[in-house]
Structure 1
Amino acid sequence: MTPDRDPSRIIGAAQARAAGAALAPGGHLADNLLAFTRLLRRTGLPLGPGEAIAGLEALTQVDIADRRQVHAALRAVMVHRREHFEIFDQAFQLFWRDPEAAAHAAAMALMDANKPKDEKAPPVSRRLAEAMQGDKPKPPKPAEEPPQHDMTFTVSERERLQQMDFEAMSAAEIAEAKQAIRRLTLPLDEQRTRRFRPDPFGPVADLRATVRESLRTGGEILDLERRRRVTRPPPLVALCDISGSMSRYAQILLHFLHAVANDRDRVHTFLFGTRLTNVTRQLRHRDPEVAFEMVSHIVPDWSGGTRIGESLALFNRLWGRRVLGQGAVVLLITDGLDREGAKGLAEATERLRGSCRRLIWLNPLLRFSGFQPKSQGIRAMLPHVDDFRPVHNLNSLRDLVATLSDPHAAQRGRMAA
C-alpha cells in the first residue's frame, strides 16, 4: 500500500480540513463555543478563559462531524469535578442541538413552576433552564432623568441586610444572605496535640533525631535537632433543630454549615426533629443544591415536632464517642421548645457538655430584647452550656465566627451563663 493510499493519513487529513474550516475566520464555531462557556458559567461551573481556549484547541484534534467525539473532548478539558458531569451533559445536548433552546428553556421553567412539589424537575434541570433563559436579550429601558434621592438619613442595603432577621427576609434577600454566608470563614482556635514535627526553631530538643543525624558524621554531634508540638483546629459538631418553629432558620443555617463543611475537615452535622439524622456525608458535596437535595431525601421529619431530649440522648449513645474526641466544639442550634417538656433534657445536655470542650447554644429567640427563659426546656438546658448566643441574622453569624476563634470566649461565656 502506497503512503498516498494510507487510510489513517486520509482520515487525519480530512479531520484537519474539517477542523480548519470550522475554526476559520468565517466560521462560527469559536463564537458558539464562547457562548456555550458562558452558559456553563451561569449554571455554576467554575469556567474561565482558559477552559474556553482549551476547548477550542481540543476541537482541532477530533472529528467535529462526530458528536460523541466533540462531547468527550469538551468535557475532558472543561469539567474538573465529577458532580458537574450531569450539568455539562444536559447543557451540551440542549445548546448544540436546538438554536431556539433559550425559548424552550423558558417554557420549561414556567411549566416547572406550576407543577406540584413532588413533580418538579431536579435542581440541575432547573438551573440549566434558568441559565438558558438568561440568554434572552432584555428590552432597552426608556431614557429617563435620574431620580434625586436624599441619602442623608438612609443606610446602605448591605448594612440593612446584615441586621435583618432571617424570618422577615424576602426570597431575593434570602438569596443575597446565602451568598454572604458562603463567603464566611470559620477560624477555630487551634489546639495542641500529642504529636511533634521537626522545626529548627522549635522549643523542644529532639535527642533521637540528633543522634540519628550524628551517624552521618561518625557519631559527632554538630547540630542539635529541635521539634515543635503540632496544633490543629478541633472537630466541629453541629446539632441543628429542623422542627416547625425552626424551619426558616434551619434552611439558611444549613448554607452556613455547608460552607464550613467544604472549607475545613472534621465537621459533623446532625439534624433532629422527632428523630436524629446524620447528614455529614451529604453536606460534603461541593454543589449546595445537590447537597440539599440529598439531605431532603434522608430527612423525614422536616418542619415536624421536636424531641430535643430524646435526640440528644440518642446522639450521646450512638455518636458521642465517635465525633466528640480531641476537644470538639459543639454548636447546638435550637429554640429549646420541646414537645416532651423537659423530660431527660437536663441529663442529656449535661452529658453532652461533659463530652466536648465547648458547648455553644444558638437560639433565635434571643433576638427579642425582652427574652426570658420561661420554657421548661430552656431552663433545663441553660445551666449546662458554655455560651448562649442569638442566631437570627448575618451579624449574629459573624459574632459567632469571632467567638469560635477566641480561645478565652468559652470561660467568659460560662461565667456569664
Structure 2
Amino acid sequence: MPEYAPLDLPDNPKLVGNITHFARALRRAGLPIGPGRLVDAIQAVAAAGFTERRDFYWTLHACFVSRPEHRAVFAQLFRLYWRDPRYLEHMMAAMLPAVRGVQEDRGAQAAEKRAAEALLDGAGMPDAPEQEEEQGTEIEIDASLTTSGEEKLKSLDFEQMSTAEMAQAKAILARMTLPIDPTAMRRTQAAATGRIDAARTLRGAMRFGGEIRDLKWRTPKLRYPNLVVLCDISGSMSQYSRVVLHFLHAVSNAKGVGWARVHAFTFGTRLTNITRHLETRDVDAALRAAGAEAQDWEGGTRIGTCIETFNHDWSRRVLGQDAVVLLITDGLDRDDPDALARQMQRLHLSARRLIWINPLLRWDEFAPKARGIAAMLPHVDSFRAGHSISSLEDLAAVISKRDDVGERDRLMRLIGR
C-alpha cells in the first residue's frame, strides 16, 4: 500500500453506513461477505481507529479478505470508494470508451472492471456516500460511442470482464462448438466407392457361375474419439475455470460435432468427476450441481497427485478410442516436480493427443520458470492460451491437426530442451 494523507471521514453514525455500503460493493464484486463480517469490520474499526488511511485499509482488509485472489478487487474498490475521485474517473474510462474530461488513456487491469461496476451500480443507494458532492467533481459521460462489439469482447481477458461482458461471453460460448475429425479404423464397411472388396465380389460372382458382373467396394469405418477434460479449479484458476466449464457444457450437449463422449474432471486438492452433471441441459443447473460435487473450489493445487489419481482410477475407462485430453491449468504446483513429470508422461502415452490450455500464456513475457510448468511442458503435444473467447476459437480450429504444437516448441527452447 502506498502512503496516504490522513483520512477525512464523516462522523458517526455515517461511518457505519459507509462501511456497510462498501461491504455491499465488495459482495457484488464477488467477495463472500455476510452480516457477520460486516459487524466484525465495524467493531474492528471502532477498536483500531482510523487516523491514517493505511491503518483503516488493513483493518478492513483483515475483516473482508479471506482469499489471495480477492486482494486485487478489495484494493481497487477501496481506492474507488474512500475518496480518490481521479481514480474513479480512470475506472469509468475503463468501463466506457467516451468519458469527457479524462485525457489519460489507461487500460483496465485485472479485477478493476468488476470493482468499478460493483461500486457504480449501487451509487444511487440511500446510504451512498455524499462526499463527492462536496468536492464538486463532475464527470459527464457520453454513452453514444459505447459499443458492445463482439470482436472486441472476444479478445478481452476473462479476468478483466465486467458482469455484463461476462454474460455476453457466456452467451457466445454457448453457441460455440469444438469439432473433431474422425479416425479411420482398420475395419471396413460396404460403400459405393473406395477399394475393391474382393471377398464380396467373388461371393457375388458365385451366383452366376463365377462370372463377375458387379464389383463390390469397401471403405474404412470411421470412429470419433472421446474428449477428456481435466480442469483446474484452484484459487488462481477460479475465474477461468468457471468460464471454461460453460464452454464444455456447450460442447458436451452439442450434437453432430463428432465427439463420441465428453468426460469432464475438476481438480484442486482432489479429483472430481463431473461428467454426469455437464450432461444436464440447463447450464446453470449443471454448473450448480458440479460445484456442489467438487468441494475444493478456489482451494489449493496438487496437480501431480490429482493426475496420479486420474491415471490410476480413470484412464483405462475413458481414454480408449484415441481420446483427446484437454488439460486446463496454470501449472503452478508445489508438489514434487519429478513425480509430476512421471504422471504427465503416463497421461501423455495413454492419450491420442494431450493439449495443455494455460491462461498465463496471455502474457507476452511468459516463460516456463515455475518448476511445475517446466516439468509438465515436455509431455504435451500442444501448449495454447485459454484466457479469452478468441483463444478458445483458435483451439477449435486446430484441435484436429496432429501437427499443431502451439507455443510448446518455443517455450521448450527457453528451458533448454
Q: TM-score, normalised by structure 1?
A: 0.60
Matched residue, 1:338:
333
Structure 1 residue 232: Cα displacement: 3.0
Alpha-carbon distance between aligned partners in 2 of 1:407 and 1:179, rounded to the nearest angstrom: 30
Q: Deviations over 1:139-170 (max 9, x none)?
A: xxxxxxxx895x7xx98621220111101111
The counterpart of 1:353, out of the listed 348, 351, 369, is: 348
The runs of at least 4 consecutive aligned structure 1 residues that moved more than 6 Å come to none
Instruction: Report the aligned-residue RMSD.
Output: 2.5
SS at match of 1:197: strand
Q: Are the equivalent residues in 1 in contact too, given 2:302–2:334 (CA < 8 A)? A: yes
The counterpart of 2:164, out of the listed 160, 165, 172, is: 172
The counterpart of 2:276, out of the listed 277, 281, 286, is: 281
Structure 1 residue 171: Cα displacement: 1.4
Which runs of 5 or more residues in structure 2 are unaligned? 1-32, 36-141, 413-417
Q: Are the equivalent residues in 1 in contact too, given 2:191–2:217 (CA < 8 A)? A: yes
Identity %: 51
Alpha-carbon distance between aligned partners in 2 of 1:257 and 1:405, rounded to the nearest angstrom: 17
The counterpart of 1:186, out of the listed 170, 174, 178, is: 178
Matched residue, 2:364:
369
2:372 corresponds to 1:380: no
Give the greater-gyration-radius structure (CA): 1
The counterpart of 1:315, out of the listed 302, 307, 310, is: 310
Matching of residues 196-345 of structure 1 within 5 Å: 196-202=188-194, 204-214=195-205, 216-217=207-208, 219-263=210-254, 264-342=259-337, 344-345=339-340
Alpha-carbon distance between aligned partners in 2 of 1:157 and 1:232, rounded to the nearest angstrom: 39
Aligned residues: 270
Which runs of 5 or more residues in structure 1 are unaligned? 1-114, 118-146
SS at match of 2:386: coil
Q: Are the equivalent residues in 1 in contact too, given 2:377–2:408 (CA < 8 A)? A: no
Structure 1 residue 326: Cα displacement: 2.3
Q: Deviations over 1:283-306 (max 9, x none)?
A: 112221221122122111111111
Alpha-carbon distance between aligned partners in 1 of 2:346 and 2:286, rounded to the nearest angstrom: 31
| Paired AA for residue 197 in structure 1 | Q
Alpha-carbon distance between aligned partners in 2 of 1:322 and 1:373, rounded to the nearest angstrom: 32
Q: Deviations over 1:54-88 (max 9, x none)?
A: xxxxxxxxxxxxxxxxxxxxxxxxxxxxxxxxxxx
Alpha-carbon distance between aligned partners in 2 of 1:413 and 1:217, rounded to the nearest angstrom: 62
Q: Are the equivalent residues in 1 in contact too, given 2:269–2:301 (CA < 8 A)? A: yes
Alpha-carbon distance between aligned partners in 2 of 1:248 and 1:300, rounded to the nearest angstrom: 16
Alpha-carbon distance between aligned partners in 1 of 2:393 and 2:288, rounded to the nearest angstrom: 27
| Paired AA for residue 221 in structure 1 | I
| Paired AA for residue 280 in structure 1 | T
Q: TM-score, normalised by structure 2?
A: 0.60
